[in-house]
Amino acid sequence: MDAMTAKGKGTPSLEDLAGQALDLARRQGASAAEVNAGLGHGFSVTVRKGEVETVEHHRDKSLSVTVFFGDRSGSASTSDFRTQALSEAVVAACAIARHTAADPYNGLADPAHLAREIPDLDLHHPWPLSVEEAIVLAKRCEDAAFAADPRIRNSEGASVTTHDGVDVYATSHGFLGTVRASRHGVSCAVLGEDGQGGMQRDYEYAAVRDPRDLPDVEEVGRGAARRTARRLGARQIKTCQVPVLFEAPVARSLVSHLVSAISGPSLYRRSSFLVDSVGTALFPAWTHLYEEPHRKKAMGSAPFDGEGVETRYRDLVTDGVLRRYCLDSYSARKLGLVTTGNAGGVHNLIVASGTEDLAGLLRQMGRGLFVTELIGFGINHVTGDYSRGAAGFWVEDGQLAYPVEEITIAANLRDMYKGLVAVGRDVDTRRNICTGSWLLERMTVAGG
């Protein structure tokens, strides 16, 4: 990928550009500096009702530099890699730093925590796909959705996307790390009609590093049709308190709320319901959450975090007990702790699954609500109060009885975590948080 590393015919590589920027910062008098540089390219095509709706090519090119003058810092960025533009960006960053207030918690990551080896995580798999071939795939995906069920009457489109990029992070400590990664996807969203004026929409998608791991595009289209058709005839239900089963893709949001609550900014601002919670039992004793950042080909894998700190397997929750927070260097210093290698977020945070598949969880629940979509953002991160619009299915005798919509589910996140009954083995691996479906003991469901 010579074009991606910007090598050849006298053009400096991203690593060379990062080195130039660091040298310019040093000559401007900066006591320390860091550089993020990236190049990326790809395209996406969308087909709607058999016709090409959009073809979008994208090329990303950026370099950002942060300089430190003692406890003062400043940042600037550029998409122009010429020497003059690079120099202007560094000068601008230095000017900003000289006029900002000192912050004793500023600075690069401690060199002792930096990654010393950069493992190959098998993240880079370019897809030699032409636009014409992508259009054919998108059409096949959408055609499969229409053919799957006669109630599928309209489409929001089927899309095929591909992206290939390289990112470089370098510091005046001498750290230099390069990560090449690709991501590819297929998605489809369709609308169904029930013959009585009722309409529903839903979608399905696939996201992978290696295009060889993509499912057949027809499978994605049929999945979109199944998900849409099963929602037809949705109704409201009366207000009740019942067990609630979150489908794996929406259960991921419950983990995201946990990560947000134990992340540095929420903690040092004391705007989290989980302040001072390390060592506290948040979940049932069987619960295990852990980061596995070096899993090959995974969407959340990374050899180092956004500050060059080594990533490694780390338990987050064991035996139901919160074992640590998620911190970068700045927040760790403010809290009097040590970075956990989470600058930029978590890396393949995995919720250990149980033995039951989704059908088994439905049978275990017996009667209650199966949530497949969440609406709105009714989360109070200070108190943990949770209230969101939802759609899904009413469950009777362990089976889907009928679709439901226009409902609200409410509880407190502490109670929801403590009331976790089971995690399914239907693990969704399409993002950086991987979990199966969650069965919760009880929530308030507000209906009509």
pLDDT band at 6 (very low <50, low <70, confident <90, very high): very low
The predicted structure's pLDDT at residue 4: 45
High-pLDDT (> 70) share of the chain, %: 97
Mean pLDDT in residue range 114-119: 94
The predicted structure's pLDDT at residue 8: 45
pLDDT of 5 strictly over 90:
no
pLDDT band at 447 (very low <50, low <70, confident <90, very high): confident
pLDDT of 1 strictly over 80:
no
CB atoms within 10 A of CB 273: 17
Q: How do strand 152-171 and strand 176-193 relate by DSSP bridges?
A: antiparallel
pLDDT band at 7 (very low <50, low <70, confident <90, very high): very low
**Segment 19-77, tens digit of pLDDT:** 999 999 999 999 999 999 999 999 999 999 999 999 999 999 999 999 999 999 999 99
Mean pLDDT in residue range 180-205: 94
Mean pLDDT in residue range 322-344: 98
What is the three-class DSSP state of 367?
coil
The full set of domains in the chain, from first to last, is 2-229 (3.30.2290.10), 234-448 (no CATH)
**Segment 288-300, tens digit of pLDDT:** 999 999 999 999 9
**Segment 339-389, tens digit of pLDDT:** 999 999 999 999 999 999 999 999 999 999 999 999 988 899 999 999 999
Rounded Cα–Cα distance for residues 264 and 2 (Å): 38
pLDDT of 11 strictly over 80:
no
Q: Which of 188-192, 194-198, 257-261, 318-322 has the lowest mean pLDDT?
A: 194-198
Question: What's the pTM value of the predicted model, to 2 decimals?
Answer: 0.93
Mean pLDDT in residue range 190-204: 92
The predicted structure's pLDDT at residue 198: 87
High-pLDDT (> 90) share of the chain, %: 95
Mean pLDDT in residue range 184-205: 94
pLDDT of 3 strictly over 80:
no
C-alpha distances in angstroms, 301 versus 55, 96, 293, 295?
29, 34, 5, 6
Closest CA to 175 of 123, 112, 87: 112
Mean pLDDT of the chain: 95
Closest CA to 62 of 83, 25, 36, 92: 36
Closest CA to 316 of 280, 271, 270: 280
The predicted structure's pLDDT at residue 448: 66
- The 10 Å CB-count burial string (b at 16+, else e) for 114-149 is bbeeeeebebbbbbebeeeebbebbbbbbbbbbebb
- Are 232 and 222 a contacting pair, CB within 8 Å? no
C-alpha distances in angstroms, 252 versus 54, 258, 315, 349?
30, 10, 18, 10
Task: Quickly list DSSP for 140-162.
Answer: HHHHHHHHH-TTEEEEEEEEEEE
Residue 180 CA, distance from chain mean position: 18
Residue in the structure block whose two tokens are 């499912």: 215
Q: Which residues pair with 426 in a beta bridge?
A: none
Mean pLDDT in residue range 160-171: 98
- Are 400 and 234 a contacting pair, CB within 8 Å? no
pLDDT of 400 strictly over 80:
yes
Q: Which residues pair with 32 in a beta bridge?
A: 68
